[in-house]
Structure 1
């Protein structure tokens, strides 16, 4: 199970569309002492999954700058099936330590427990 160092966001919260939305989540994470923020895929605007928009880069860079991990939780296959660039970025992100795309919270907990 996840520990208290992960801020788990509800699926029905405000959309994450720009860096200011990321800053709101970062502020909430800092206030709770979290090291990771788990955001359901439904919360991200579709622009996040279109790399040419730059939205994903802006959002993830904010998390890196504040030394927080970001987990995108849920099925992103409809986006990765449509974009080989996104598919490659997801795979590369999952090899790193700051941004993970996980199917559910159990996978996130397992990766964190393994030292991710």
Structure 2
């Protein structure tokens, strides 16, 4: 896993680059959050959807809710980038829509859009 920092003014975003699944469970999500905070001083993370276990996108597992609640509690803002149109679950589509209305979790189509959203928040 590689962590690249995209900085604009005082805003820093940790861009996670990996060919592998980075978050497969809650502990891995916490480890990633701690790593980008202590190693890079970032409270904003950009992550590709391919770096998340598929269970994350099955809301019945509770994995997404548990992970995103931890990130919210620690005030870490995250953007998950990818094509989410392949998921047929209405619940997941509603979840993504609701997340995108807030200022803590985003599901966006590409890195440029994600960086713009993340840097626009403090």
TM-score, structure 1 normalization: 0.88
Higher relative contact order structure (alpha carbons within 8 Å, sequence separation ≥ 6): 1
| Match of residue 19 from structure 1 | 26
Where 2:67 maps in the other structure, the secondary structure is helix
The equivalences for 1:1-116 within 5 A come to: 2-3=6-7, 5-31=12-38, 32-79=40-87, 82-115=88-121
Q: Deviations over 1:56-76 (max 9, x none)?
A: 011111111111011111111
Partner Cα distance (2:69, 2:25) in 1 = 11
Partner Cα distance (2:113, 2:16) in 1 = 16
More helix by share: 1
Where 2:47 maps in the other structure, the secondary structure is strand
Partner Cα distance (1:51, 1:91) in 2 = 14
Partner Cα distance (1:63, 1:90) in 2 = 16
What root-mean-square deviation, in Å, do the aligned CA atoms of Structure 1 and Structure 2 show? 1.7
Partner Cα distance (2:92, 2:79) in 1 = 16
Of stretches 84-93 and 26-35 in structure 1, the one that deviates more from structure 2 is 26-35
Q: How many residues align?
A: 113
The offset of 1:13, in angstroms, is 3.9
More strand by share: 2
- Name structure 2 gaps, 5 residues minimum: 1-5
Is the CA contact (8 Å cut-off) linking 1:75 and 1:103 kept in structure 2?
A: yes
